């Protein structure tokens, strides 16, 4: 059908049916799928024509239309003055690979990852008395994303900066260096979205 429309479009449903020696009703569901998928365009009283987009282009468009706000998960946070020991317990119990570190009012102070905690545990310091603020990567060096960013942008940022997660933040124009943490995007989020996209 695609070949016919590519060659002869714009062409009506009846004309396609005639060429295939089928009824218009038999073709209707297939035409609907091809139109919905974006491979064909339909114009009333003109007919179907080929959109010129490859399946890859359409998939790319679809991927770039997914937004952080629809995929973000709950952030797992500890306070800047929590101990490294407590951060290790939280990471273990919450089953995440990184924690956001926040100031009193939920504003972003930094991030601690598995490796940061392992590194601290390798030393001889007392983990119960060492505040997590001492070992975290701190603002303004934190790579973040916003709820209105695309999931694709978030994935690109994780890849570019070689980190496993990004805090999702709402920027406060009065405190540009202390945005409010409202969620979390991790590589697991991207894997989940990928699986969802590929579902038959
Ligand atoms: P892992 O420790 O498991 O390798 P990451 O790759 O996420 O996890 O972290 C690597 C380093 O980057 C750590 O020192 C961590 O503090 C820091 N880091 C993690 N996430 C971010 C982020 N979003 N922005 C800046 N630095 C980060």
The domain boundary, picked from 53, 78, 96, lies at 53
Is the domain of 25 the same as that of 82? no
Is the domain of 21 the same as that of 49? yes
Is the domain of 165 the same as that of 109? yes
Is the domain of 30 the same as that of 128? no
Is the domain of 6 the same as that of 78? no
* Residue 58: inside a domain: no
Q: Is residue 107 over pLDDT 90?
A: yes
| pLDDT tens digits, 149-191 | 999 999 999 999 999 999 999 998 888 888 999 999 999 999 9
Q: Which domain holds residue 174?
A: 68-196
What is the C-alpha separation between 154 and 133, in angstroms, rounded? 25
Read off the CATH number of the domain in which 84 is found.
3.10.580.10
| pLDDT tens digits, 37-77 | 888 988 888 899 988 888 788 888 889 999 999 999 999 99
Contact of 5 with 49, CB cutoff 8 Å: yes
| Chain-centre distance for alpha carbon 171 | 19
Is the domain of 79 the same as that of 134? yes
Would the CB of 111 count as within 6 Å of ligand 1? Answer: yes
* Residue 116: inside a domain: yes
Closest ligand 1 atom to residue 167 Cα is 23
* Residue 170: inside a domain: yes
Provide the pLDDT for residue 58.
84
Cis peptide preceding 10, ω within 30 of 0: yes
* Residue 59: inside a domain: no
Would the CB of 186 count as within 6 Å of ligand 1? Answer: no
Distance 2 CA to ligand 1 centre (A): 47
Structural domains of the chain, count: 2
Is the domain of 106 the same as that of 30? no
Is the domain of 140 the same as that of 191? yes
* Residue 87: inside a domain: yes
Would the CB of 142 count as within 6 Å of ligand 1? Answer: yes
Would the CB of 97 count as within 6 Å of ligand 1? Answer: yes
Contact of 91 with 75, CB cutoff 8 Å: no
* pTM of the predicted structure, to 2 decimals: 0.81
Is the domain of 127 the same as that of 181? yes
Is the domain of 84 the same as that of 125? yes
Is the domain of 143 the same as that of 49? no
Average pLDDT over residues 109-133: 95
Q: What percent of the chain has pLDDT over 90?
A: 72
* Residue 62: inside a domain: no
Read off the CATH number of the domain in which 40 is found.
1.10.10.10
What is the C-alpha separation between 153 and 90, in angstroms, rounded? 28
Is the domain of 30 the same as that of 75? no
Query: Which two structure tokens, joined as six digits, stand for 23?
Result: 């009824």
* Residue 40: inside a domain: yes
Would the CB of 185 count as within 6 Å of ligand 1? Answer: no
């Amino acid at each position: 059908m695609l070949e016919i429309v590519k060659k002869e479009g714009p062409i009506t449903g009846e004309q396609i049916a005639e060429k295939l020696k089928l009824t218009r009703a038999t073709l209707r569901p297939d035409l609907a799928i091809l139109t919905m998928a974006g491979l064909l365009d339909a114009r009333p009283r003109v007919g179907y024509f080929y959109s010129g987009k490859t399946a890859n282009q359409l998939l790319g468009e679809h991927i770039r239309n997914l937004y952080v706000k629809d995929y973000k998960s709950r952030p797992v946070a500890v306070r800047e003055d929590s101990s490294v020991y407590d951060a290790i317990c939280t990471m273990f119990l919450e089953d995440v690979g990184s924690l956001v570190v926040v100031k009193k009012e939920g504003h972003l102070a930094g991030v601690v990852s598995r490796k940061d905690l392992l590194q601290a545990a390798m030393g001889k310091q007392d983990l119960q008395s060492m505040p997590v603020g001492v070992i975290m990567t701190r603002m303004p060096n934190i790579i973040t994303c916003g709820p209105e960013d695309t999931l694709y942008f978030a994935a690109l940022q994780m890849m570019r900066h070689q980190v496993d997660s990004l805090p999702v933040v709402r920027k406060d124009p009065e405190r540009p260096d202390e945005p409010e943490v409202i969620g979390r995007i991790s590589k697991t989020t991207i894997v989940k979205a990928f699986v969802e996209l590929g579902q038959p």
